[in-house]
Structure 1
Amino acid sequence: MRANTAMKFRLHPDRMQAERLTSWSHTSRAVWNIALAQRIWAYRSAQRKAVRAVAQCAELTEARREHAWLRDLPAQCAQQVLQQLDAAYDNFWNPAHPARFPQFKKKSHRQKITFPGQAVRVHKVSRRMAQVKLPKIGWVRFRLSRPINGTVRNATVSRDGLGWHVTFGIHMPELEQPPVNTGMPIGVDVGIACSVFVSNEHHERQRPDTIVEDEQNRLRGLEQRKARQLTYAKKHNGGKYSNRLRKTIGQIAALKARQARRRADWNHKLTTDLTKNHGMIAVEDLKVRNMLRSAKGTIELPGANVAQKSGLNRRIADQGWHQIRRQLEYKTRRHGGVLVVVAAPGSSQTCNECGVRDPKSRHGCGRLFACTACGHTEHADRNAAHIILDRALCTAGWAGPAGSGSTRPQSTRSPQKGRGTLTGSRMREPTSSVTAT
């Protein structure tokens, strides 16, 4: 019985609890780095040995007898780190998974500690407050912003620029009759100037700025202050961070965390609305990681327009295209829909009326699409959304709603004429669960 959903809440530990959680997070990072180094060394040795968590857990038990700092961390948490390292290796060797080789974690890496479900207990205190019992710490209060329905499979305590949080992995029973979404199919085009354009709508969905002008000025000032303090630390303190520098880094992290929350909030509202009202959603297969690569090149072959490419990378990352696609993947399954991913090349240069692809139909980076073959004019992003939908309908062989009488051939090619759109467009079983008073 695995967790199939997650719920995140704001955690309110006291000073002593926060200090111990911070210490445990650094210990968990050390366990990860040591275990990863051991696996790399064993694989590069003459025996080419592959080490897994089962063997390392036995060595972990011996190491806990010798080192007090390692013994302070609950044994279940250290075992969870080794299980996560196993999962990272499995994802790396899986050709269908885009994960890279596991990396060593720096001290500035995200602080987190994972507990198995049988090691924690959740107790509701009031309508808006609850508490979770953690090993060696006791009860810690958190804000109950929504009810926890299901069985707690695991709990992860993490910290970002705005404080501590607890995330519960919840197993919710599957419905006997899975829902079937009969809403009209749509194509979704994501961009920068226009955040999202849906094929059955006449206006774009523009996301508000995740950081306002005053916050941008403050962030710029904090980054300049950080650069000065780093230079001073390297010259006079041997690279050791001062308390003022750590305070500046914390203020920058708080602004970045608030920006990320606003982005995730808008994306969640967008994807929830789309998956609830549409049976099929088509998106482009964008390689965001490749699109974010730097253009600076090497010393021998320096890149061109490096500053412009850096600005473009920041704007792409701020839109959260991968986050939108990831949310659509699991929300379409939850609401009975289907997500179809189509090839991206040429979607912004192909006319959705005549099917002719011509780069000259897009004048620069403007928002107007003017076909050079048939003269059709339309908003460029709306035209691209229709092309994405057409490709998805042909790829999936969509036959339309029951009784419509319309059928489409199963083909991987985009239609050459007309839109063809439809009318209307690993853990053990837990011993505890949530209790309420």
Structure 2
Amino acid sequence: MKADAGRKYRAYPAGDQTRVLTRWGHTARALWNVALEQRVYLWEQRRYTLRSAEQCKQLTAARADVDWIGELPAQAGQQILRQLDRAYENFWDPTHPARFPARKKRGSRLSVSFPGQAVAVRKLNRTWAEVRLPKLGWLRFRLSRAIGGTIRNATVSRDGNGWHISFGVHTGRRPDAPNGKPACGVDFGVTASAFVSTEVAPRLMAPTLTASERERLKTLEQRKARQVTYAKKHNGGKYGNRLRKTIAQIAGLTARGANRRRDFTHKLTTDLAKNHGLIGIEDLRVKNMTASAKGSIESPGRNVRAKAWLNRAVLDNTPGERRRQLEYKARMYGSVVVPVVPFHTSQTCARCGQVDPESRKGCGRLFACTRFGYEDDADHNASVEIEARARRTGGSDINSTRSIPRVRVPATGRRRTREAPKPARAS
């Protein structure tokens, strides 16, 4: 049985458990780096592929010789090596977007993983429960929702808000049958976080940090910069308690903003998956959209500061995470997600199909078709166009009656069909 759902709870270590989990987190990070370095070395020197089965035997010998490795539970060390195997498999898979496994820095999120056979959970009352971890004992956590399945793995992690316990759970739930609900198109943006084609107003995500929190974050960042400079000049780069406290306060603010962003994303994607049978979205390349502006100190680029602000705004709306959540929630609620080509969705008239950059001058909120004078909110017009494309390509039984739109390029006066393939380049 494989885990098909995740459950995350706030954990509350007691007594020395916090110090033990912190040491384990750093040990797990170091073990990952050592195991990865060993695999890279053997491949570069001998073209030998090392796997977790062989490394687990070496880990058993290392636990007897090295104290800090022996302190980490054996199940956690073996789980790290299995995760490294999975990272390599994802890298070798041409259909997976994962890159080559990376080394973990000291500032990385602390986490320790255990297989499901090594943990046990007992419920204390309606709101509290405990999980028994090897060499640690019972760890209390807030039972904010039912686990609802068989535990296949457990991970203890720490972020700016504290410790958490996550379970990979096998629920056995199968995808729902098609729900037969109406289709929609969704345009994810910056000014309007999400505009649904069947609605008349956009869904706006509240700022992840309030004005006072943003000011506080700016002050803390400036204080951190001064303290880091002082540490390099007078302490040989060693961080003091005050600097560590500042870093912890920054982590707490950023984690608070991330939680608010995650809350909005979950509510948005759940509502879309439950109430629609077909959801059209743009097939965005977020990495290309958020590439840094070209330039250097000697020859600075143009609008570098504006591009940096736009990149932060795009990433703050997390279009990639929204798509990921939509895809797995759609299977749960009987809907389907159809990514469409984002080519000129903001310049295409959703009523007549004419594509003209003049229909939307600048980055204004108004779309005015140059052919028939049709006017609409630019993001709503784009969402209707996305829905039309999704209906044509998603296999919906509700087919669009509009012909394939054509593109007018004012600079050259040429007309070409968007779906037509590019001509082969002469050699």
The structure 1 segments of at least 4 consecutive aligned residues displaced by more than 3 Å after TM superposition are 296-302, 413-417
Deviates more, 1:31-40 or 1:157-166: 31-40
Aligned length: 407
Partners of 2:157 and 2:194 in 1: CA distance: 31
- Which residue is equivalent to 1:403? none
Unaligned residue ranges in structure 1 (runs of 5+): 401-406, 418-437
Partners of 1:319 and 1:6 in 2: CA distance: 23
Partners of 2:177 and 2:396 in 1: CA distance: 18
Name the amino acid aligned to 2:78: Q
Instruction: State the shift of 1:20 in Å.
Output: 0.5
Instruction: State the shift of 1:325 in Å.
Output: 0.7
- Which residue is equivalent to 2:42? 42
User: Do residues 142 (structure 1) and 115 (structure 2) align?
Assistant: no
Q: 2:367 aligns with which of 351, 366, 369?
A: 369
Partners of 2:297 and 2:305 in 1: CA distance: 16
Name the amino acid aligned to 2:60: T
Name the amino acid aligned to 2:64: R
Partners of 1:61 and 1:154 in 2: CA distance: 21
Q: TM-score, normalised by structure 1?
A: 0.90
Partners of 2:173 and 2:189 in 1: CA distance: 35
Residue 168 of structure 2 aligns to a residue whose secondary structure is strand
Residue 315 of structure 2 aligns to a residue whose secondary structure is helix
Q: TM-score, normalised by structure 2?
A: 0.92
Instruction: Go from structure 1 to structure 2 and tell me whether the alpha carbon gap of 1:194 and 1:31 turns closer, same or farther (over 3 Å shift).
Output: same
Name the amino acid aligned to 2:158: R
Instruction: State the shift of 1:51 in Å.
Output: 1.4
Name the amino acid aligned to 2:183: P
**Is residue 195–residue 380 contact of structure 2 (8 Å, CA) maintained in 1?**
yes
Partners of 2:128 and 2:231 in 1: CA distance: 43
Instruction: State the shift of 1:301 in Å.
Output: 5.4
Aligned CA-pair RMSD: 1.7
Partners of 1:334 and 1:309 in 2: CA distance: 38
Partners of 2:181 and 2:395 in 1: CA distance: 16
**Is residue 11–residue 164 contact of structure 1 (8 Å, CA) maintained in 2?**
yes
Residue 16 of structure 2 aligns to a residue whose secondary structure is helix
Partners of 2:31 and 2:271 in 1: CA distance: 42
- Which residue is equivalent to 2:15? 15
Instruction: State the shift of 1:340 in Å.
Output: 0.6
- Which residue is equivalent to 2:411? none
Instruction: Go from structure 1 to structure 2 and tell me whether the alpha carbon gap of 1:163 and 1:91 turns closer, same or farther (over 3 Å shift).
Output: same
User: Do residues 93 (structure 1) and 92 (structure 2) align?
Assistant: yes
- Which residue is equivalent to 2:156? 157
User: Do residues 25 (structure 1) and 22 (structure 2) align?
Assistant: no
Instruction: State the shift of 1:416 in Å.
Output: 6.5
**Is residue 355–residue 405 contact of structure 2 (8 Å, CA) maintained in 1?**
no
Name the amino acid aligned to 1:50: T
Name the amino acid aligned to 1:99: A
Q: 1:205 aligns with which of 189, 203, 211?
A: 203
**Is residue 355–residue 406 contact of structure 2 (8 Å, CA) maintained in 1?**
no
Partners of 1:30 and 1:83 in 2: CA distance: 15
Residue 15 of structure 1 aligns to a residue whose secondary structure is coil
- Which residue is equivalent to 1:420? none
Instruction: State the shift of 1:302 in Å.
Output: 3.8
Partners of 2:73 and 2:240 in 1: CA distance: 31
Instruction: State the shift of 1:323 in Å.
Output: 1.2
Partners of 1:319 and 1:79 in 2: CA distance: 37
**Is residue 388–residue 400 contact of structure 2 (8 Å, CA) maintained in 1?**
no
Unaligned residue ranges in structure 2 (runs of 5+): 408-427
Residue 129 of structure 2 aligns to a residue whose secondary structure is strand
Residue deviations 1:81-139 (CA, integer Å, cap 9, x gap) = 11111111111111211111111111110000001000000000011000000000100
Instruction: Go from structure 1 to structure 2 and tell me whether the alpha carbon gap of 1:299 and 1:209 turns closer, same or farther (over 3 Å shift).
Output: closer
**Is residue 29–residue 104 contact of structure 2 (8 Å, CA) maintained in 1?**
yes
- Which residue is equivalent to 2:252? 254
| RCO comparison, higher one (Cα < 8 Å, 6+) | 1
User: Do residues 343 (structure 1) and 341 (structure 2) align?
Assistant: yes
Instruction: Go from structure 1 to structure 2 and tell me whether the alpha carbon gap of 1:310 and 1:15 turns closer, same or farther (over 3 Å shift).
Output: farther
